[in-house]
Structure 1
Amino acid sequence: MPKDTGPEKTTGIGASPKRREDIRFLTGRGRYTDDITLHGALHVHFLRSDVAHGRINGIDTKAAEAMPGVHRIFTGADFEGVGGIPCGWQITDRHGEVMQEPAHPVLAQGKVRHVGDPICAVVADTLAQARDAAEAIVLDIEELPAVIDMKQAVQDGATKVHDDLTSNLCYDWGFVEENRDAVDEAIRNADHVTTLELVNNRLIANPMEPRVAVGDYNPATDESTLYTTSQNPHVIRLLMGAFVLGIPEHKLRVVAPDVGGGFGTKIFHYAEEAFCTFAARQLKMPVKWCSTRSEAFMSDAHGRDHVTKIELAVSKDGEFQALRTETYANMGAYLSTFAPSVPTWLHGTLMAGNYRTPLIYVNVKAVFTNTVPVDAYRGAGRPEATFQLERVIDKAARELGMDPIALRRKNFITEFPYATPVAVEYDTGDYNATMDKLEEIADLSGFEARLAESKKRGKLRGLGVNCYIEACGIAPSNLVGQLGARAGLYESATVRVNATGGIVVMTGSHSHGQGHETSFPQVIADMIGIDESMVEIVHGDTANTPMGMGTYGSRSIAVGGSAMVRAAEKIINKAKKIAAHLMEASEQDIELKDGKFSVAGTDKSVAWGDVTLAAYVPHNYPLEDIEPGLEETSFYDPNNFTYPSGAYACEVELDPDTGRVTIERFAAADDFGNIINPMIVSGQVHGGIAQGVGQALMEACVYDENGQLLTGSYMDYAMPRADDLPFFSVDHSCQTPCTHNPLGVKGCGEAGAIGSPPAVVNAVCDALQRAGHNITHIDMPLTPSRVWTAMQQSGGQ
């Protein structure tokens, strides 16, 4: 809950009005991409590879082309001379070499490289006709050995995913490279070193709405439009127009209407988007594709998939001295849009966590395999870093005979700003405060009684605690450009005030479930003192919003909201000039409060609506000093990340006969800086925890040795359900405002997914060790089979 500041607010910043967008979502009146069916639209079906690795020797489409309703069948040959899907981030490795960057064609050319790689696209009058025709295509594919295991993929003599590359190693990244020798020496000479090898399991995002793309072309104006399920339509327009299809931006419009969830998987530019736009231009007819859930499993970018060895050097009294990690990170068959940045700059820079560790070295080997490309998934690098760090700290506490909370408190950063040895500077935080709050809301003092009760029923009980810190709102552009980003990471907003006082905010950010249409108006309404209903948010259409980078990395309010605030400040400053003229006063004496401009120290005032009308009916102010109208644009490029942090606790009960883990209690104490809408923030944390629990206990994307996806449907890929989760105790009253954005906010959207996996695994390991099992780690997901097998192999009570 937010800080107790007296009576509960009902409007503006700090209030929790109901989400206005839910009216249409809950009544079936949302407008999603699949709801867009343009007149005369054709339908496309992609014929995808059923082998993980193969050479295309021939494609016979003659019979399929003659089938009813078929307009055209496209193959990779149709895209010769067309650009491939670009990667938006370039990594330079520890040897100063630029990463290996293979071509990523829209349709496979020469080879297929993962199950699901699109080979042909059939465009027909109906989807059924397109599917029937696809079955008539004859493929001659010579199956090649598949490369699935990352460590085997980089061995000498391994089959190459891309023949034109020197090996399957994309890059060998070291950070901070100048720390390497000092870290090695510190670990050699340490009183104690805790070592842990662990896996961050591959995940599939599975948002409620599958991906959809609708391409349209107007020959009269030579303009193309793409309707797509995207978290950042401006980035899609930039990448697709400039690097793939060669369409000038003023001739290309990208629209992302209501989007039913993304979790990162809808950030990226996909081949299907480029294809539908290209095909519409070729056929001069609209072309539509809607992914099936089965297609999504083998074509949407996957997440995580790291194998790591981590070593923590500590003194005999528990002070952290050095940290070293070596990670193999799966890139899949191609480089997705932001894939190279995830295991490097979004992961290595967070390895200090909440702790004073003077020496840190992170090595990451990114590897190509014959699997679906891997990219950002909720948290993107930060969950991987937190899981490694918080698991090794828990193991170290047990080896040292120290309380896990006490060990963490002993090493907490307590003075801010704090420059970490991994090149970031935390501006604010209070990690002891969040831990204090956690101990309170989780009722840790009552754990022993609950443990005894579980024992009476023949169950094992465990408690897991961990901390996290996250870097949100990736910035600034001049820094990330040096780190390899091929796009700016600013955000934009245009604020337009109508003559009657209503406001339209056009934002480069995009909502796919976060509640922007509710929380953004709270900020503007609070600044001016008007009702939130007078503020409308427009997003998702490149034709009527300023160039922005979209929504991901918990950046919406911190970066997009700050751009909106800066634009609104320009509006207010101009409105004060008008008000000063209307009241024949000095501009410096004008105050704005509760929707009214007044002259300080007098009873003179003029209402917001009167000033906005005067802006558009400028009969009574000097045009040589003030232009008519009230509309301003601002681009905001933050000068640092924001650093939300928190402490989480999980209690599990474990059935020793089956290995089944039940989460009995879960508590989260987060520091998100200033809170705009506490209800929305709590909802974001709830959703993140659910996804983190899914990773910890049940979700895993599995390939066999031939590259066949064994978890290609909900029959095999387990997702968390409501009855898998307890009610969460969530608190965000520990607020240390961010010092470098105008709202003092930090990100909240990914926190739950970052903090929850280690809490769950720590709890399970605690339960097993309390029962006498010599088990220090089990890799996620901790399924009943894995837990039961570990128990049988370890002995114990």
Structure 2
Amino acid sequence: MTDDAQADPTADAGDAGTADGPDTLVGEGVDRREDAALLTGDATFTDDIDHPDLAYLTFARSEAAHADIEAVDTAAAESTEGVLAVYTWDDIAASDVPGVLPISTHGLDCDPPGHPVLARDRVRYQGQPIAAVVADDRYRARDAADAVEVTADSRPAVVDQREARAEAAPTLYEDAPDNVAATSELGDREATDDALADADHTVERDLTNNRLIPTALEPRAAVARWDAGDERLTVELTSQSPHGHRGKLSTTLGLPESAIRVVAPSVGGGFGHKGHHHPGEAAAAFAAMDLAVPVKWTATRGENYLAGAHGRDHRTTAELGVDDDGTIRGLAVETDANVGAYGLGGSLGMPGWYGSLLSSQYAIPAIHCETRAVFTNTAPIHSYRGAGRPEANYVAERLVDAAARELGVDPAELRRRNQIAEFPHETAVGATYDSGDYGRGLDEALDAAGWADLRDRPDRDDDGRYLGVGLACYVESTGGGMESGVVRAHPDGTVTVSAGTHSHGQGHATTYAQIVADELGVDYDAIDVREGDSDAIPQGTGTFGSRSTITGGNAVAESARAVRETARELAANLLDAPESAVEYRDGTFSAPDHTAETRAFADVAEAAYGWGVPEGMDPGLEATTFFEQDETAYTFGTHVVSVAVDPETGAVDIERYVALDDCGERVNPTIVEGQIEGGVAQGIGQARYEAAVYADDGSLETDSMLDYAVPRSFHVPDIETEATVTPSPTNDLGVKGIGEAGTIAAPPAVVNAVCDALAPLGIDHVDMPLTGERVRSAVRDARE
């Protein structure tokens, strides 16, 4: 590894170093403290939660993708043994509950309704909930849901976003007759047209960014309880943003946020899928309030596939202009983004900002991007790991590779000639990159992979397979928004850290403890990190968008510094010395110029809650910080892939994968590497295997793991991780996010490598996923 901040991963986590000294835990590969409970089965997930008199909720879902509901007969379901209630939209309408999931309407061309908890008079995608059945047993609930009879009048369906814009296409909402939810533009159209016209060469590609289905280990789930005495709702659920879910439940149920507590226990994977509101938790809460019993809803894997939010699904036409010397002149992009049948949260507006990353690592003087968010009769689209950045980077990196082929230039050299070298740098689409060393990252990635040797290989190996090598540079926008962090020292000197983020695999309990141990100079094992309870934490934005260490990490760091300085003031009183004379090292306060006495941090903490508080100071030793990131931090890197492609079967063998990433200072390099490897695995999944496929009538054909090909362990190669460290000036820790880097870089890197392998056949593009059938078809077509 070439990681400037890499430290011995076997270092003793108990040596917390000092607040004023050079020894630190930040930068150490400390073992994740979360893993023991997860690996031994001691962790508690939502479906593990049990309460007395617990009831179970299951949905009766629409079989049609587009239909008018004429009648819902619940009599048979209601007469099923053990059934406590069956709800339809009429029951919600008769209550005081609004019953609609809120959406952000900012920037929309229309004003569509939000997603109803249960379908009102019309269904718009297969699997949309029509009725909710609550029973004393989950299997009885499912049997009763099967007994619900729905009479519906089918409507024509449309599943392709470009077909949905056609004049003859069925309309999902009267307010959007062309099915376009929002149109947005970034950059200067006129300047870009001029740049393309003046360029010596232009290359154009039609690109599909395939629709993906989040496949976390744990499906969505919720347990709701209503306390009639306190008139208070508690919802335990799979959430990346407990406070965000509290706010959305408040809107859907018509309750004040103060009357709702949201608790997120262990969460078995989020990937954006568990960051938004869903009918399941809202229906469970409605039933719990109505029946005055706890109600659990747990989606099956099939339901998660059918009616959980999907990701990606862009259709793009892009054109890049480049001169003979390799200088990129301009980039024009037109994208139709499928947003599914309903808006979820801010999903309808998400495609509008995806183009802000189209510049990738390159100084492109003119860029124009027009994006349309289009309704179709498919499951709603929401953020999925990367959320816009993979789509943008795929466009940029495929076009740069196409330009290199057009010019007959080494694709690495073309990238090098256009890389941004001075920072901060404002791109033509309004992004301001904070810091970077793109050339060094490219060179070190190429050296690690042996790029020159890979380029010199023959076209085919001894088995007749075509050999190729590809790379992708990337820039990832990370962080954003406000986050809370609370640090409280207890009288015995132990410390509790609370943050508004939520860890579902990111290792916050480890990294936050490392940060606070360094700031306070206390023992790492004396620090307890807590997240996921809206009652225990003042406010929180959540974990998504590669933001946690930037926002949550800096919030707890600032709170720890405030606690340290308060402790220093208390220690000065105990030592009878001026505060300016007090030193803090190895967990001990001293004032050597005034007294030989010392005070341990625990002594000061004990005094903070008793006799040691001087006049004018408040008792206690804690601090709360709301950290707001004003400027975006941009992670970057270069990934290199070598492949062998069998022309007879279409099989693609990824021989090597080298990932060089720069996320600024690394609090825990081992955790960073894990995030990169996980992201790359998902990126390879998109490039090679995964695609949600709908029939023309709106039926999901890939509705189980028998048809939707999630990569298995043997499909993912050993990932060789390399690193450079370029601290971010946007925050005191100097960190940038890393959670989504692999999903951004891997798809274009793999596709570029495969297209390089197939270049001798004249093949210049194959759409993702690069299944054996698709690659074999491309080879067959090229030979004909």
Q: What TM-score range do you get, normalising by the shorter chain? A: over 0.9
Contact 2:243 2:262 in 1 (8 A): yes
1:614 maps onto 2:607 in alignment: yes
Residues 323-342 of structure 1 aligned to structure 2 (within 5 Å): 323-342=331-350
Give 2:60's aligned residue: 47
Question: Distance between the aligned counterparts of 2:196 and 2:181, measured in 1?
Answer: 28
Instruction: Work out which of the residue numbers 80, 83, 104 in structure 2 matches 1:67.
Output: 80
1:388 maps onto 2:385 in alignment: no
Contact 1:84 1:103 in 2 (8 A): no
Residues 536-615 of structure 1 aligned to structure 2 (within 5 Å): 536-599=528-591, 605-615=598-608
CA, structure 1 residues 106+200, in 2 after alignment: closer, same or farther (shift >3 Å)?
same
SS of 2:336's partner is strand
Q: Note the C-alpha offset of 1:598.
A: 2.8
Specify the code of the residue in structure 2 equivalent to 1:467.
C
1:195 maps onto 2:187 in alignment: no
1:370 maps onto 2:371 in alignment: no
Q: Note the C-alpha offset of 1:448.
A: 5.1
Question: Distance between the aligned counterparts of 1:380 and 1:601, measured in 2?
Answer: 57
Contact 1:509 1:556 in 2 (8 A): yes
Contact 1:100 1:169 in 2 (8 A): no
Question: Distance between the aligned counterparts of 2:263 and 2:632, measured in 1?
Answer: 28
1:535 maps onto 2:541 in alignment: no
Residues 699-725 of structure 1: CA distance to partner in whole angstroms, max 9, x if unpaired?
A: 000001000000000110001111112
Give 1:715's aligned residue: 706
Residues 186-225 of structure 1 aligned to structure 2 (within 5 Å): 186-225=195-234
Question: Distance between the aligned counterparts of 1:627 and 1:203, measured in 2?
Answer: 53
Question: Distance between the aligned counterparts of 2:356 and 2:613, measured in 1?
Answer: 54
Bigger mean CA offset, 335-344 vs 257-266: 335-344
Q: Note the C-alpha offset of 1:519.
A: 1.1
Contact 1:528 1:593 in 2 (8 A): no
- Matched residue count: 768
Residues 7-156 of structure 1 aligned to structure 2 (within 5 Å): 9-11=11-13, 12-80=25-93, 82-92=97-107, 98-156=109-167
Q: Note the C-alpha offset of 1:609.
A: 1.4
SS of 2:497's partner is strand
1:520 maps onto 2:512 in alignment: yes
TM-score normalised to the size of structure 1? 0.94
Q: Note the C-alpha offset of 1:491.
A: 0.4
1:420 maps onto 2:433 in alignment: no
Residues 275-305 of structure 1: CA distance to partner in whole angstroms, max 9, x if unpaired?
A: 1111100111111111110010012110000
Question: Distance between the aligned counterparts of 1:426 and 1:66, measured in 2?
Answer: 62
Give 2:638's aligned residue: 647
Give 2:4's aligned residue: 3
Specify the code of the residue in structure 1 equivalent to 2:615.
L
Give 1:478's aligned residue: none
Question: Distance between the aligned counterparts of 1:43 and 1:5, measured in 2?
Answer: 49
Contact 1:91 1:171 in 2 (8 A): no
Specify the code of the residue in structure 2 equivalent to 1:121.
A
Instruction: Work out which of the residue numbers 302, 308, 311 in structure 1 matches 2:310.
Output: 302
Identity rate of aligned residues, in percent?
43
Specify the code of the residue in structure 1 equivalent to 2:479.
G
SS of 1:456's partner is coil
CA, structure 1 residues 630+434, in 2 after alignment: closer, same or farther (shift >3 Å)?
same
Instruction: Work out which of the residue numbers 469, 474, 481 in structure 2 matches 1:468.
Output: 474
Give 1:458's aligned residue: 464
Specify the code of the residue in structure 2 equivalent to 1:370.
N
Specify the code of the residue in structure 1 equivalent to 2:163.
Q
1:437 maps onto 2:444 in alignment: yes
Give 1:482's aligned residue: none
Q: Note the C-alpha offset of 1:631.
A: 1.3
Q: Note the C-alpha offset of 1:216.
A: 0.6
Q: Note the C-alpha offset of 1:19.
A: 1.0
Give 1:353's aligned residue: 360
Bigger mean CA offset, 99-108 vs 51-60: 99-108
CA, structure 1 residues 601+205, in 2 after alignment: closer, same or farther (shift >3 Å)?
farther
Question: Distance between the aligned counterparts of 1:323 and 1:164, measured in 2?
Answer: 33
Residues 585-644 of structure 1: CA distance to partner in whole angstroms, max 9, x if unpaired?
A: 222232323212233767653221111111112x244222x2111011110111111100
SS of 1:344's partner is helix
Specify the code of the residue in structure 1 equivalent to 2:437.
D
Specify the code of the residue in structure 1 equivalent to 2:532.
G
CA, structure 1 residues 102+184, in 2 after alignment: closer, same or farther (shift >3 Å)?
farther
Question: Distance between the aligned counterparts of 2:510 and 2:632, measured in 1?
Answer: 24
Specify the code of the residue in structure 2 equivalent to 1:230.
S
Question: Distance between the aligned counterparts of 1:448 and 1:143, measured in 2?
Answer: 56
Q: Note the C-alpha offset of 1:99.
A: 4.3
Residues 442-467 of structure 1: CA distance to partner in whole angstroms, max 9, x if unpaired?
A: 12233257x34961222111000110
Residues 398-417 of structure 1 aligned to structure 2 (within 5 Å): 398-417=405-424
Question: Distance between the aligned counterparts of 2:321 and 2:110, measured in 1?
Answer: 31
Residues 25-59 of structure 1: CA distance to partner in whole angstroms, max 9, x if unpaired?
A: 11110000001111101111100011100110011
SS of 1:612's partner is helix
Bigger mean CA offset, 165-174 vs 288-297: 165-174
* Structure 2: stretches of 5+ with no match in the other structure: 14-24
CA, structure 1 residues 3+270, in 2 after alignment: closer, same or farther (shift >3 Å)?
same
Contact 1:85 1:270 in 2 (8 A): no
SS of 1:455's partner is coil
Specify the code of the residue in structure 1 equivalent to 2:744.
I
Give 1:782's aligned residue: 770
SS of 2:537's partner is coil
Question: Distance between the aligned counterparts of 1:725 and 1:221, measured in 2?
Answer: 52
Q: Note the C-alpha offset of 1:343.
A: 1.6
Instruction: Work out which of the residue numbers 382, 397, 400 in structure 1 matches 2:404.
Output: 397
Give 1:446's aligned residue: 453
1:692 maps onto 2:683 in alignment: yes
TM-score normalised to the size of structure 2? 0.96
Instruction: Work out which of the residue numbers 245, 253, 259 in structure 2 matches 1:245.
Output: 253
Question: Distance between the aligned counterparts of 1:374 and 1:383, measured in 2?
Answer: 15
Specify the code of the residue in structure 1 equivalent to 2:169.
A
Specify the code of the residue in structure 2 equivalent to 1:425.
T
Question: Distance between the aligned counterparts of 2:41 and 2:547, measured in 1?
Answer: 28
Residues 559-583 of structure 1: CA distance to partner in whole angstroms, max 9, x if unpaired?
A: 1111111111111111110111122
Question: Distance between the aligned counterparts of 1:106 and 1:638, measured in 2?
Answer: 34
SS of 1:238's partner is helix
SS of 2:762's partner is coil
Residues 750-769 of structure 1 aligned to structure 2 (within 5 Å): 750-769=740-759
* Structure 1: stretches of 5+ with no match in the other structure: 475-488
Contact 2:66 2:125 in 1 (8 A): yes
Question: Distance between the aligned counterparts of 1:240 and 1:24, measured in 2?
Answer: 30
Contact 1:495 1:506 in 2 (8 A): yes
Question: Distance between the aligned counterparts of 1:288 and 1:566, measured in 2?
Answer: 39
Contact 2:103 2:343 in 1 (8 A): no
Question: Distance between the aligned counterparts of 1:61 and 1:29, measured in 2?
Answer: 40
Give 1:266's aligned residue: 274
Give 1:477's aligned residue: none
Specify the code of the residue in structure 2 equivalent to 1:220.
G
Contact 1:102 1:165 in 2 (8 A): no
